[in-house]
Amino acid sequence: MSTIITPHTDTRMAEIIHKVRSGERLSLEDGVYLYESEDILTIGQLANEANLRKNGKKVYFIENMSLYFTNVCEAHCAFCNFRKDEGEEGSYTLSGPEMVEYVKQHIHPGVREFHIVGGHNNHVPFQYYVDSLKALNEAFPEVTLKAYTAAEIDFFTRISGMNVREVLMKLREAGLQSLTGGGAEILSDEYRKKMRVNKANVDRYLEVHRTAHELGMRTHTTMLYGSIETYEDRVNHMIQIRELQDETNGFQVFIPLSMQPKSKNASIMRRNSAYEDLKTIAISRLMLDNIDHIKAYFINIGTQLTQMALTFGASDVHGTILKEKISHAAGALTPEGLTRKELVWLVKGAGRIPVERDTFYNEIKVYE
């Protein structure tokens, strides 16, 4: 085991170090303290130790494509620049066959997963969303469908009259195998009210994932940070995810998402700092002791900071993606996707071992 390299006399930090190394769970107060601490090197190395115990030097990625059937959305979240109103310039709603044709034009050998999210389009029936998955599943049966956020599932219950379990079972019949992690934002109803997150509330987000886990599905989960939330809000968000994981063990990965400004021309002062991004990844690793993986999402934080994150607790760099739209609609300056070769280079450049995986973290190829 490595030793903490930064000298300090802070007894509180020493207590946290002892807790982590002893396998003792960190509290809300511990997490807030870590956010308030300026000792990012100690925090990062402690998170690195925690990750190495879980995953060794392996870092995971997947060959995937991001697909967006519609950007029409009834919600008006303050941070979103992806959504459009029906009939607004730039709005679209693709049918299943239209998406199949799009995929045929852009897919390449090796793609294992479709990552599917979109707007809450109430101008089409629930059956549209079912048929969308069915069309993809029939055309590309070898590709896993990881589709829809918990907020979308909640939306589907409202337009279908079904409950959460019935919606998930209907979608599974069409080919759904896993849920995406989006829609969590910050798990605080006060935050959601202020940020006009007029979609699934905290209890509903957790209920959807709980139900999916009860049905045997493994899912992802996120946290969108960097706006009006407090450090306590962020840590409490992590604790709520941790408690549900204690109950179901259904989450595969936690994805901290760095808030993007609404314009690519936004000044540096409108973006999260690299310091804040690395600290959030490290604290996520330390707080979420029961989730195997923390993802460094290069779409939000960039490729080089993603490399740094691999020594701050991260063990996943997402995937090839191909034409990501949501973060880029909100001002992301990063690539819209990377090739397998680039992802392998990125991970090896951080002194780690790249591992190509499937949706469920089964290892496909280890690039020693």
33 is in an annotated binding site: no
CA–CA distances in Å: residue 262 to residues 78, 82, 158, 266 = 10, 10, 29, 7
The total number of residues shown for the chain amounts to 368
- SS3 percent helix, strand, coil of the chain, rounded to 5, is 45, 15, 40
- Residue 347 CA to residue 124 CA, distance in Å, equals 42
Beta-carbon neighbour count of residue 74 at 10 Å? 17
77 is in an annotated binding site: yes
Contact 206, 181 (CB under 8 A): no
Token pair in block for residue 308: 């740094």
Token pair in block for residue 281: 């990844």
Contact 345, 88 (CB under 8 A): no
Nearest alpha-carbon partner for 121 in 173, 79, 85 = 85
Beta-carbon neighbour count of residue 54 at 10 Å? 15
Nearest alpha-carbon partner for 347 in 313, 292, 306, 312 = 306
80 is in an annotated binding site: yes
Beta-carbon neighbour count of residue 284 at 10 Å? 27
Give phi and psi for 57, each to the nearest 5: -95, 10
Contact 200, 156 (CB under 8 A): no
Residue with the two structure tokens 């973060």: 327
Angle between helices 28-36 and 274-287 (to 10 degrees): 160
Contact 281, 43 (CB under 8 A): no
3-state secondary structure of 223: strand
Beta-carbon neighbour count of residue 80 at 10 Å? 19
Contact 313, 294 (CB under 8 A): yes
Binding site per annotation, positions:
73, 77, 80
Binding site per annotation, positions for [4Fe-4S] cluster:
73, 77, 80
